[in-house]
Amino acid sequence: MNKLAVIALGGNALQRDNQRGTIEEQEKNTFRTLENLVFLLKDGYDLVITHGNGPQVGDLLQRNDAGEQVYGIPQMPLDICVAGTQGEIGYMIERILRNALTKHGINKNVVSLISQVVVDRKGKSFRELVKRVGRTYSEDVARKLEKEKKWVFKEEIKSGGGFRRVVPSPQPIDILNSRIIKDLVSAGNIVLAAGGGGIPVYIDAKGNYRPVEAVIDKDMASALLAVTIQADEFYILTDVPYVYLNYKKPDQQIAEFISRDEALRYLKMGMFSEGSMAPKMKAAIYFVEHGGSSSVITEATKLENKKYGSRITMDKKR
């Protein structure tokens, strides 16, 4: 049997920080990233792919805002926007991955799923408004929107001022259709799922699924998916080839092999930024704590022969 790996594509897989985000730019970036997955396929892996959607959902929220202000078109809620970006990004990845497979003579089907993820609506993380979404508003407009839409805003102190909407980032507790995902990949298909962390939903007292105005951490949702479908390995693809200790400091050093206990200690020391590496490390730890063989954090371009990347395991293994 082939090994099963879940691949979490970072935001830079589709759009670079210095780019406008045109479809031409995103397609070029996506092909460059996906072509590197061929190395894993040729090494006998079955793959489930997840992806981020931060820039895309941010753009969609701004289009929503402009449409309402200029044309009176009602804004769609955040869960609908996440679903929309899952569809557009899933389509782009599926089409471009098919082309990459054709280039390398690999015959596999690629299937995209719109994924709902059940979140813990009663947990502490749901009460903490930590994710900033949408455009920046003046204080007057922000206060008006707070009254009209019951949104919550926080001041943007570090990025030029103004106010942005904030929403919770609740803990994911279940990936809907995970059994179908497992069956599809077991049959030899490449599956795209849990895009953008998944569409956040909760189950009410009557057993009905209800939407949530929230953003799920994409790496943690990917780790939960990897655990749920019993993946062997979990890859988080980002913009650096390794995890670094004392990042961008004179004593910076590569951490190539990391045990679970070491990773927890580094997190407690504040070695990783909450806005970048810390969520990835938490997701990597979660996977190995729940039965996964290893988590790997690296760049997509470093997948050939798996020579690069930081490997997190329960006990340090080389």
Instruction: Please state, in angstroms and rounded to a whole number, the distance separating the CA atoms of residues 206 and 196.
Output: 28
- Sign for the pseudo-dihedral over CA of 90, 95, 100, 101: positive
- What pTM did the predictor assign? 0.94
Q: How far is CA 6 from CA 40, 116, 166, 219, 224, in A?
A: 11, 17, 29, 11, 10
CA dihedral of residues 316, 310, 195, 301 (deg, nearest 10) = -150
Catalytic residues: 11-12, 131, 218, 280
Question: What does the domain layout of the chain look like in residue ranges?
Answer: 3-125+171-313, 129-168
Q: How much is the CA Rg of the chain, to the nearest whole Å?
A: 20
| Residue 2: exposure state from Cβ atoms within 10 A (0-12, 13-18, ≥19) | middle
Which tokens hold the place of 50? 């997840």
Q: How far is CA 88 from CA 84, 94, 109, 118, in A?
A: 6, 10, 18, 22
Instruction: Please state, in angstroms and rounded to a whole number, the distance separating the CA atoms of residues 5 and 317.
Output: 18
Which tokens hold the place of 300? 């997509």
What's the CATH fold of domain 3-125+171-313?
A: Carbamate kinase (3.40.1160)
pLDDT values of the chain reduced to their tens digit, one per residue, 318 residues = 799 999 999 877 788 778 888 999 989 999 999 999 999 999 999 999 999 998 889 999 999 999 999 999 999 999 999 999 999 999 999 999 999 999 999 999 999 999 999 999 988 999 999 999 999 999 999 999 999 999 999 999 877 789 999 999 999 999 999 999 999 999 999 999 999 999 999 999 999 999 999 999 999 999 999 999 999 999 999 989 999 999 999 999 999 999 999 999 999 999 999 888 999 999 999 999 999 999 999 999 899 877 789 999 999 765
Q: How far is CA 38 from CA 89, 102, 126, 150, 226, in A?
A: 20, 11, 38, 47, 20
